[in-house]
Each structure stands twice: as C-alpha cells, then as structure tokens.
Structure 1
Amino acid sequence: MEQEAEIDRLPIDLLAQIFLMITSFTDLAQASGVCRKWKQGVKQALARRQTLSFAGFKMDDDSTARLVHHAYSLKELDIAWSENPWIFSSFGIVSQLASIDAFHDSSRSRWGCQITDNGLCQISLANCVSSLTSISLWGITGITDKGVVKL
C-alpha cells in the first residue's frame, strides 16, 4: 500500500493561505494546474484577496471579470494602464511581451489594458462591487462614462 505524500495532506485552507501570499499571476496559474486540490486552494486564495491589481497586464474583459467574481473580499481594484505590460489570457497563462521597442511606437495605448464598457458591466455584477472602496481606471482608453456608471 502506497503512503500518501506529505504535501497531499495539507488542508485546502492552509494551501489557500499560502497562495494568498503569492502575487504573481504566473505562479498562481501554474499552482492551479498542479492538481484539483491546489486549484481549489488558488480559488480560495482569490476569494480572500482584498486587493487586485491588473496594472501592467494586458487584460481582456472576460479574464478580468472572472478573477473579480472570484475575489469575494475585494476592497481595492486597480485596472490602470502601465508601461510594463504583461499578457494575461483567459487560459491563465501570463507572459511578458518580448519586445521593449513596442512601447516606443505611436500607438502606445494598444499595449494597455483591453477593458471595455462591456468588461466594466461584467465586473459590476460581481458580489464584491458594493464593498469596493477604491477603483483605479487610470489610462484605460477602451471605457466611457457609460461603463463607469455601471460600477
């Protein structure tokens, strides 16, 4: 009879507490792919998170809304544009843009956050929205006052 590995005996609550300390989306995405128990731990960690910052990530509407919907305790949400973008896909894969030269062209805004009014509408349906004390949308070019009003 095989003995259970020590790591497999960690309770999900403890895993969630450990994952709560990880700020890298890359690391969280990789951890959630280890096994079902770790995926549940990552979900619980997101639920406990009080701040989420997507600054510097090229987020789309669906990815952003999905993460915000999992963050039940969220108080601060930062979706601001940054000059150091990362790409975050709906599949949980994060990778840094390969070419720094891309930042120096005339269409800088295309590297910023891809949130639109539709994304803000999706976020507005999250349970945590009524508890938010801070929302940063600085530099986001794909939104209008119509989307902001929904929040």
Structure 2
Amino acid sequence: MKLAVPRDTGPWGGSGGKHWDDGVFATVKQVEVHIELALNVIRAVQLRCEKRDGQLVVTPSHGGPRGDMIKTIKVDGTSEFLVSVEGFYGPVEGKNDCEAIKSITFYSNKRRYGPYGGEEIGTHFSSAQSAGKIVGFFGRAGSYLNAIGVHMEYF
C-alpha cells in the first residue's frame, strides 16, 4: 500500500521562540492546550500520537510552564481525526516584541473543539479544511506557544 506524502501547512504566529517539530504520525489522538488566563495566551501544547505500528508517543510540552487551565481534546484516530486548526495570534500583554498564539480551535471530521485561550483578536490563521487529516504538529515556542503549523496527510 502506498502511503500519502505529508505536506506542511504553516507555521502561523510570531517569530520568537525555538523551532520544534514532533514529526509525522499515523494519527494524533490527543492535544493538551495549556492556557494562561491572565495574559489571554496559549502557554503550551502537548500531544499524544500513534505511530503506524500502533505505538503511542507522548511529545514534549511545547511552550512555557503549565498555564492556569488545561483543555484536553481526545479523538480515537480511526472514526474521528483532526482535519484543521485555526485561531488568532498577536502581542503578549506586557511582553515587548513577543507574539504568541492567543486563541486556537481544532476541527475533527465530526466536530469543533474550542476556541481555547483568550479573545479571538489579532491576526487570524487557518489551515484549509480539505480531504485529509492532521498527522503532526510543528512550530516555535519559548515561554509561550509562539507559532504552530500542521503536517497534513491528504486522502
């Protein structure tokens, strides 16, 4: 069976932080979104993914220390899978020249998860919904989730 070649979309967000890339998986099963309520910003994301051999992988947390709130998105990866992500990024209040993801929404083939984070203000971003699924994430992070992009596998 020939496997589809994943394509990258993004990253969207600020230019700060260190580049990270979790790679490509068979499916993304869980996303934890760490939110800093006082600053209306996404602090970090952490994923649980499944490799093609069925092995589960927990990625490092990308961003700063845990925020005030954690939202967890779980999909089974078979009948439900992530198909797109959208949100807003902008300046972090009180942090000179620091832009980060302010709000994020995930879409599966069955429903919407979110929006999570602060107000939906700033620069909008979106991965186009298409005949495919998200098979990994990449971006930049420091004290916050500065930018995020997706690895897409098209059907």
How does the TM-score come out when normalised to structure 2?
0.25
Larger radius of gyration: 1
Bigger RCO of structures 1 and 2 (CA < 8 A, at least 6 apart): 2
Bigger proportion of residues as strand: 2
Name the TM-score, length of structure 1 as normaliser. Answer: 0.25
Identify, as 1 or 2, the structure richer in helix.
Answer: 1
